[in-house]
Amino acid sequence: MPKDENRVMLKVPSLNQEATVDGPRSRCWTLEAKDCLEFGPHHMARMGIDSAHFPYCRVRLRPAGSFILACLKGEGLVRLEGRWERVQPGTLCLAPPRVLNALAAEEGRPWLFAWLRYDEPTWVNPLVGSASPLRVNTGAEEFGEVVRGFQREWKGPRESKQIHHWISLLHGLALRMALPWHTGSRIGKLWDVVANELAADWKLDSLAARCDLSTEHLRRLCRRDFGRTPMQHITYMRIRRAQEMLETTEYKLEHIASAVGYHSADVFTRAFVRSVGLPPLHYRERR
């Protein structure tokens, strides 16, 4: 287990239960959809800016929508795809719906970040999907500026046209960040092919050959666009597709495992638990 993970697991509540802890020094501004009708058309649930100090933490077992976090100052830890990720200023993290994620501030390390949570029922295509990055090192400052601009308008004049402008701008940024390769990355077509052939026995060499790149160049592009290696991104896409099948079909576990590229239901289950936080059949029971 990584050193950071050892330290965090001692500080936060069990990842088997929901948790919301602020502590005496944290300051959090949150706006809910019930208070701003402009959120509705975009499936936004809430947004906020948190100045987090230990023992601040959040644990969400099966959040209903996509999540975006932009680190503005300091640093903290975010649980994404089964592991703790340290985030620093300029880092932007994304998490899909219905997957365990958690946040934690460390002792002696204040952390300022802006965030946005969506509310996306299973019949809605989530903003953060199988082609989205885990973390990127661009866009966090811009995202934070828009959230702060909206906050100033909401606390001040609160003119309806301006509110609409800020919300539209924020959602537009979120869409761009959730699909970075649509802005010109060379590997966009590759991931379209992979998405349609998840059951194939993909290897790094075959992925690189598909887009006429060296394996090392493909690895660098993936790290830049997704914060993952190519094979980690394949796993991410497979688990997201498996979630969709568990939510919308009654297929047996063996069928789903095979459909997304796993030759063994046991291997699939272990990968699913690492990413989502619970076994696939338990996940289906909660739909």
b vs e for 58-97, b when ≥16 Cβ sit within 10 Å of the residue's Cβ? bbbbbbbbbbbbbbbebbbbbbbbbebbbbebebbbbbbb
Phi, psi of 70 (to 5 degrees): -120, 115
Which of 89, 91, 160, 170 minimizes the C-alpha distance to 127?
Answer: 170
Segment among 27-31, 62-66, 122-126 with least mean pLDDT: 122-126
**pLDDT tens per residue across span 2-26:** 444 444 444 555 688 899 999 999 9
Question: Is it the case that residue 145 has pLDDT exceeding 90?
Answer: yes
Q: Average pLDDT, stretch 232-241?
A: 92
Per-residue model confidence (pLDDT) at position 5: 44
Q: Give the pair of three-digit tokens for residue 277.
A: 């936080």
Reported pTM: 0.83
Domains, in order of start, for the chain: 3-178 (2.60.120.10), 184-285 (1.10.10.60)
For 251-281, the pLDDT digits (tens) are 999 999 999 999 999 999 999 998 888 899 9
How is the chain classified by DSSP, letter by letter? --HHHHHHHTTS--TTS-EEE--SS-EEEEEEGGG-GGGGGGTEEEEEEEEE-TT-EEEESS-SS-EEEEEEEE-EEEEETTEEEEE-TT-EEEE-TTS-EEEEPBTTB-EEEEEEEE---TTSPPSS-TT--SEESSSHHHHHHHHHHHHHHHHTT--HHHHHHHHHHHHHHHHHHH-GGGGT-TTHHHHHHHHH-TTS---HHHHHHHTT--HHHHHHHHHHHHSS-HHHHHHHHHHHHHHHHHHH----HHHHHHHTT-S-HHHHHHHHHHHHSS-HHHHHHT-
% of residues, the chain, pLDDT over 70: 92
CA-nearest of 194, 60, 157 to 118 is 60
Round to whole Å and give the CA distance between 202 and 198.
Answer: 8
What's the pLDDT score for residue 129?
A: 85
Which carries the bigger pLDDT value, residue 50 or residue 83?
50
For residue 184, pLDDT beyond 60:
no
Mean of all residue pLDDT scores within the chain: 90
pLDDT band at 137 (very low <50, low <70, confident <90, very high): confident
- pLDDT of 279 reads 93
Q: What is the pLDDT of residue 183?
A: 47
Mean local confidence (pLDDT), 167-188: 80
59 pLDDT higher than 50: yes
pLDDT recorded at residue 10: 42
